[in-house]
Each structure stands twice: as structure tokens, then as C-alpha cells.
Amino acid sequence: MNAEQLTQFKTWFADYVRPFYGDDDYVNANLRLKEDHTKRVCDEILYLCSELNLDENRKRIAETIALLHDIARFPQFAKYRTYHDARSINHCAFAIQILTENKILRPLDPAEKHLILKAIEYHGAKDLPSKLDEETLLFCKLIRDADKLDIYHILIENYRRHRQAPSLFCLEVELPDEPYYSPEIIDNVLNEQNIDYGKVRTWNDLMLLNLAWVYDINFIPTLKRIKQKKFLEQVLEFLPDTADIRRVRKKVLDYLNSAIKQGK
């Protein structure tokens, strides 16, 4: 892939997204959330590429994946007014459909096209398939880590804004903000297990799921970024001060520090 092709993808992205904005302030706010998210994920994936000393071509492929990974979020929210896949569409699969129907990646080498499509297809999966080739696996891991880094940022900001002024919060709230949390999800976190989103019932459950992401990070630079920005500590601030949560706090912070030290 060359630099001109990447520029063309950025132009197409902006042209594709623009018509979904309209007169509905609620829809516009949620679309802006995803557009800003996309820009930051591009920054995060380039940070990871630099830390991993990837060559310029791989950086362009990675940035293209980050640019297009959430392309389906725009028609999804415009039509269904939710980003909840189970209540609307699978945004990963729909992204592949959009890119294929619009023939966006047709100018690329078939091998590069394959890398981009597979990384987008699996970026939201609970687990990656076991039989991916090494190059495909690299890009799948890059987008999953970069995506998580910015989602931490978004969720922390949204938790804070919603708690401070719920009546003024203008973004989608998928789950009730209640003091309850699931004992099963607590056990998942303490046992270093990824959590099935279908089991999440409250914001507290979602925050616990966010904490468990630390077990699904692929690169040391990502872990260092999480520690530097104190993402785990900030999520923990929103959870109740109970014996369960104190155990969770110790578990995830110890895991983070140990993984960095051991060069996971």
C-alpha cells in the first residue's frame, strides 16, 4: 500500500460518514463519538506500530484497519439508535459488507486486502480464531489493543460525565447505573477470564468487564500505556468500595505490573 492510497481511504471515510449527520442532536452526538474514536484509534495503532518497530507499509495497513474498523457504526446508529450489536446488527460483519459492496479495497494487493478485512472482521470478537497466520494475527492483535486503549478513555469520560449530571448526558446509555454487580463476573475477573458481554447487566458489570480486558492485551507497549494513563485505577474509582471490589483491584493491578515486568 502506498501513501496516496491511504489518503484516498481517509477521503472516502469522511465522505461516507458525513451524510449520516442530520437534525437529530442525539444521533449526531453519538456519531461524533464514533468519528472521534476512530481518529484516536488511528493514533493509538500508530503508536503501537512505532513501539514495535514495524515498517512503513505495515503502519499504513494498520492505520487503514483503524480508520475502517468501525465504519458500520454510522449506519448502525442512524438506523437503530444503538451501538448494541445484539439489538441491531453485528457491526464487524456489516463493516465487511460495506467495504465489499463499495469496493473500497479493490486497488490493494490481495494479501493486503485480506489482512485488513480479517482484522476488521475479528476486532470485536470475544476470542481470536486459533488458526490465523502470523501476519493476520499481528494486525488482529494491533487493532484489538488500539481499540481497547481508546475505549478505556471513552468509558472513563462517560462514566464521569454521567455520574456528575445524568440529566445532561446526551450519549447512549445501554445499561442501568445501579449499585448491583454480578458475583459471576467478579469470579471471572479474579480467575483471569474474559467476560461474555451477554452476561453484563449494569454499568458496574461493564466496568468489571473493562477491567478484565487487561488479560486480553497483546503487546507490552499497550500494557505500559494502560499503566501510564492509570486506566484501571480510574475505572475502579467508579465501583463500590466492597470486599469483592478490593480483591478485584489487587488482582488486576498486580496482573498489570507482573505482565509488564515479565515482558508478556
Q: What are the structural domain ranges in the chain?
A: 3-145, 175-262
Per-residue confidence at 173, pLDDT binned at 50, 70, 90?
low
Per-position DSSP letters for 63-119, written without gaps between them: HHHHHHTTTTHHHHHHHHS---GGGS--HHHHHHHHHHHTTTTTTS-HHHHHHHHHH
What is the pLDDT at residue 58? 97
According to CATH, the superfamily of the domain at 3-145 is Hypothetical protein af1432 (1.10.3210.10)
Instruction: Check: CB of residue 61 under 8 Å from CB of residue 135.
Output: no
What is the pLDDT at residue 98? 96
Q: What's the whole-number average pLDDT of the chain?
A: 93
pLDDT greater at residue 197 or residue 189: 189
pLDDT tops 90 at residue 85 = no
pLDDT greater at residue 129 or residue 177: 129
pLDDT tops 80 at residue 176 = no
Count of Cβ atoms closer than 10 Å to residue 220 Cβ: 16
Mean pLDDT computed over 45-59: 97
What is the pLDDT at residue 179? 82
pLDDT tops 60 at residue 264 = no
pLDDT tops 90 at residue 263 = no
* 144/141 Cα distance (integer angstroms): 5
Mean pLDDT computed over 198-227: 93
Mean pLDDT computed over 204-213: 93
pLDDT tops 90 at residue 174 = no
The string of pLDDT tens digits covering residues 6-28 is 999 999 999 999 999 999 999 99
Per-residue confidence at 258, pLDDT binned at 50, 70, 90?
very high
What is the pLDDT at residue 127? 86
What is the pLDDT at residue 162? 79
pTM assigned to the model = 0.93
